[in-house]
């Protein structure tokens, strides 16, 4: 079973030599979030395991997603063009703001709690970053519920491009670590989380209608301006910084010094996933992403998270990452079927089946890896009590 999920004895032994190495040069992190987190963590009981903080933070984001799904399944609730859809209750924005802020805080203090309790271990980092990879799908989807789908907003494919950009930024950081041995935390993470909390609060006090205006000079809706800002963050901050850090590691001979083919290997699965899903959405006779946007995006985020988790395992154990994720094979078959046979309505069932498969595989993979590493390090996942020998 361990071999089936890639957790071979060699991978497990690689974790014993792992040492955490991360650099956070973000001005927001340095002057705002880290000082705040250093203060907050002092109120956390010393008996509370860091992984509990990590997991609760993820569940809060998942809770936001489920509430939004219930009230705004198709992203029409904040659209004046579709009055047949009820608006999202105003209290939802306040709950989402609280959950988002608390989730961001818990994600920031879990590592500090681990150091306070002298319980730092590779499993904690894997657990943290693994859940973070799945959480990349929540922010863009929530943003779309704020603006709505219709008047003064953008099409589904626009928000999907933001989702892919978010995931590309995440995988870039871990591709960078795979080659340099150092995790350079992206500047955009803290900024985006604080901005999303602020977005929720503004929407709570002003209502979703306040976002329906045209921005002077560019003469575009506010939603388009936000889209431009987000993409500028990807293209101007994350990707160039990643490329420079990798270049510097080769120049100074401080990284893994892999050949070009091996260095690029971690990106193959993610880029293949994105290309296949874009092809599906583009050639869909049924217009699958237009009719089932949340399901399509959830499927994208779940398959991506499985790819990212496997890469994180490889870079933490200093082993060679896989070239193609197992979930790409059935997806390739589905996309080929959609492009050449144009099944129409059948695509909905194909999407449901693939979503169920991806979610089941990913949950099984995550639970198995976490339990196996906990057993290997003889620790409890959600408790500071050591396992007996």
pLDDT at residue 2, as a whole number: 57
DSSP three-state, residue 321: coil
List pLDDT tens digits, range 215-232.
Answer: 888 888 888 888 888 888
- The answer as to whether 337 is a domain residue is yes
Closest of 89, 101, 93, 30 to residue 61, by C-alpha: 101
pLDDT at residue 188, as a whole number: 80
Closest of 361, 327, 379 to residue 15, by C-alpha: 379
List pLDDT tens digits, range 321-368.
Answer: 999 999 999 999 999 999 999 998 999 999 999 999 999 999 999 999
Percent of the chain topping pLDDT 90: 74
Reported as a pLDDT band with limits 50, 70 and 90, residue 4 is low
Reported as a pLDDT band with limits 50, 70 and 90, residue 1 is low
**Mean pLDDT on 189-212:** 92
pLDDT at residue 21, as a whole number: 81
**Mean pLDDT on 58-64:** 97
* Residue 323 DSSP code: S
- The answer as to whether 387 is a domain residue is no
Q: Is 332 exposed, middle or buried (0-12, 13-18, 19+ CB in 10 A)?
A: middle
- The answer as to whether 384 is a domain residue is no
Asked if residues 373 and 126 have their Cβ atoms less than 8 Å apart, the reply is yes
- The answer as to whether 389 is a domain residue is no
pLDDT at residue 388, as a whole number: 63
pLDDT at residue 263, as a whole number: 95
Q: What gap in Å lies between CA 219 and CA 367, rounded to an integer? A: 49
- The number of folded domains in the chain is 1
- The answer as to whether 2 is a domain residue is no
- The answer as to whether 382 is a domain residue is no
Here the CATH number for the domain that contains residue 149 is 1.20.120.1760
pLDDT at 304 exceeding the cut of 90: yes
CA 274-165-364 angle, to 5 degrees, is 55
pLDDT at 31 exceeding the cut of 70: yes
In angstroms, the Cα distances linking 260 to 134, 180, 234, 264, 321 are 28, 13, 23, 6, 14
List pLDDT tens digits, range 168-192.
Answer: 999 999 999 999 998 888 878 888 8
Q: 184: which strand partners?
A: 23
Q: 221: which strand partners?
A: 214
pLDDT at residue 96, as a whole number: 97
pLDDT at residue 189, as a whole number: 83
- The answer as to whether 362 is a domain residue is yes
**Structure tokens that stand for 298 in this block:** 């959830």
Question: Which range marks the domain in which residue 216 is found?
Answer: 9-377
Reported as a pLDDT band with limits 50, 70 and 90, residue 83 is confident
In angstroms, the Cα distances linking 382 to 83, 119, 128, 374 are 46, 11, 13, 10
Asked if residues 384 and 148 have their Cβ atoms less than 8 Å apart, the reply is no
- The answer as to whether 303 is a domain residue is yes
């Amino acid at each position: 079973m361990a071999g089936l999920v890639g957790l071979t004895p060699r991978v497990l032994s690689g974790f014993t030599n792992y040492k955490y190495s991360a650099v956070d040069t973000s001005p927001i992190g340095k002057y705002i979030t880290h000082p705040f987190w250093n203060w907050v963590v002092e109120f956390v009981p010393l008996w509370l395991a860091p992984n509990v903080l990590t997991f609760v933070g993820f569940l809060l984001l998942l809770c936001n997603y489920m509430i939004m799904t219930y009230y705004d399944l198709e992203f029409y609730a904040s659209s004046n063009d579709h009055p047949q859809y009820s608006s999202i209750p105003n209290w939802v924005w306040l709950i989402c703001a609280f959950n988002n802020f608390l989730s961001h805080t818990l994600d920031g203090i879990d590592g500090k709690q681990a150091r306070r309790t002298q319980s730092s271990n590779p499993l904690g980092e894997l657990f943290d970053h693994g859940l973070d990879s799945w959480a990349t799908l929540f922010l863009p989807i929530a943003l779309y519920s704020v603006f709505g789908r219709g008047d003064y907003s953008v099409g589904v494919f626009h928000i999907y491009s933001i989702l892919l950009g978010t995931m590309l930024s995440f995988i870039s950081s871990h591709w960078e670590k795979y080659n340099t041995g150092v995790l350079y935390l992206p500047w955009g993470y803290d900024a985006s989380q604080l901005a999303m909390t602020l977005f929720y609060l503004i929407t709570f006090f002003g209502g979703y209608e306040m976002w329906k205006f045209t921005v002077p000079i560019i003469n575009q809706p506010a939603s388009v301006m936000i889209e431009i800002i987000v993409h500028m963050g990807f293209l101007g901050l994350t990707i160039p910084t990643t490329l420079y850090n990798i270049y510097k590691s080769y120049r100074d001979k401080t990284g893994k010094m892999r050949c070009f083919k091996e260095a690029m290997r971690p990106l193959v699965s993610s880029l293949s996933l994105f290309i296949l899903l874009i092809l599906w959405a583009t050639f869909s006779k049924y217009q699958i992403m237009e009719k089932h946007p949340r399901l399509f995006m959830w499927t994208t985020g779940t398959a991506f998270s499985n790819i990212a988790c496997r890469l994180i395992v490889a870079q933490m154990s200093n082993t060679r990452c896989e070239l193609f994720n197992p979930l790409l094979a059935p997806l390739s078959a589905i996309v080929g079927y959609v492009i050449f046979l144009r099944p129409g309505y059948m695509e909905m069932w194909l999407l449901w089946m693939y979503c169920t498969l991806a979610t089941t595989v990913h949950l099984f993979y995550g639970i198995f890896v976490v339990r196996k590493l906990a057993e290997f390090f003889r620790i409890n996942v959600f408790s500071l009590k050591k396992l007996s020998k």
